[in-house]
A = this chain, B = another copy of it.
Amino acid sequence: MTELALEARIRGPVASALLELQDPVRAKLEQVPGEMWRIVKADAPIIAAANAHLRGMKGKMFRPTLLLLASELEETADGRETALAAVAELVHLASVVHDDAVDHSNVRRGQPTINALFSHQIAVIMGDYLYSKALAELVRLGDLEPLRAFTAASNEMTLGEMRQLASYDALSFSEADYWQLIHAKTASLLGAACEVGALCGAPTYRQAMRRYGDQMGMAFQVTDDLLDYTEVESVTGKPSGNDLREHKVTLPLIAALPQMSAVQRSRVNTLFANPTPVDVEIADVVAIVTECGGIDYARQKGQEFAEQADVALEPVPASAARQSLSDALTYVIDRRS
């Protein structure tokens, strides 16, 4: 059994689904980490140490996967695709490093964050460094179109983050605010990654891929926010409810709020007035949100975005890469982590 297949068996069927949909671009995907560390390499021990840690964190490489798949839809990609896939992951990583610094998060996916392991100051500057190196690589590649796509996504990501930091009355956060926020936070970069992939091998489908990535990104984030309400943790046997704990308002709660009785609503208000909500309060609000249809509504919306993304794929001719992009939609809404 190969290492990857073994990993899939340990992580279960959905992780295995991610591995399968990477099949058409496996060889190139395996070159992406090497490209990433080539781009951010510097003759400074602190950079080497931070890079080594980030390297060990190994994300799902979802953005590189999508970019590489989009680059294979027409003919052979033009050779820039692994470097551009590395840039997509670095732009994502830069935003993750700053998000963790801003939130003072110590752990991400079971690994210590840069701010926990080094310092908050180093996390701020390391995020700047990763982003500026990614941009310099785009300049080196010498084509303005990927620069346009990635800088537009970065603008939207930072604007979204600013809006989120500035909002003070969590429970007045509307569904429209939520769509704007998750487009900025998640869909903009996934859309850019898919568009840039098309730019290096399937220019006919540039707009289609942009739309696919946008809609898929919306489905991805809606599902992420749902998991906080639905996915039972191995230790506690209960949903984590971390978003509620941090007073983060996402779609399930937004959809449920207007359906609540006065008593239910007052229990939500109490949780949001408590700076450190306890587990039983959180479990209670999770139950209220579920009862008031918030989970069903969010699941439905995630499904609709995935369908819109599938519509965007319609003009694309059949190929292994196209099949993977279609399968990615199932993965995105069915995944459990």
**A residues at B contact (CB < 8 Å):** 42, 44-47, 50, 98, 101-102, 119, 121-122, 124-129, 131-133, 135-136, 139, 142, 144, 147-148, 151-152, 154-155, 157-159, 161-163, 165-166
**CB < 8 Å: which of B45, B129, B136, B158 contacts A128?**
B158
Q: Is the CB of B46 within 8 A of A125?
A: no
B132 & A44 in contact (Cβ 8 Å cutoff): no
Known: A144-B144, A151-B132. A44 touches B125 (CB 8 A): no
Of the candidates B42, B124, B139, which one forms a contact with A98 in the assembled complex, judged by CB atoms under 8 Å apart?
B124
Contact status B166-A122, CB under 8 Å: yes
Show 22 residue pairs from A and B whose CB-CB distance is below 8 angstroms, ordered by the A residue: A44-B163, A44-B166, A98-B124, A102-B121, A122-B162, A122-B165, A124-B124, A125-B161, A125-B162, A125-B165, A128-B161, A129-B155, A131-B132, A132-B154, A132-B155, A132-B157, A132-B158, A135-B135, A135-B151, A139-B151, A142-B144, A144-B144
A214 to chain B, nearest CB (A): 18
Copies of this protein in the complex: 2
Assuming the contacts A46-B165, A124-B124, asked whether A148 and B158 have C-beta atoms less than 8 A apart, the reply is no
Q: How far is the CB of A169 from chain B (nearest CB, A)?
A: 13
Contact A129 B162 (CB under 8 A): yes
The contact of A44 among B142, B151, B159, by CB within 8 Å, is: B159
B147 touches A45 (CB 8 A): no
Q: Which of A98, A127, A132, A136 has the most CB of B within 10 A?
A: A132
User: Nearest-CB distance from A103 to chain B (Å)?
Assistant: 8
A139 proximity list for chain B (CB < 8 A):
144, 147-148, 151
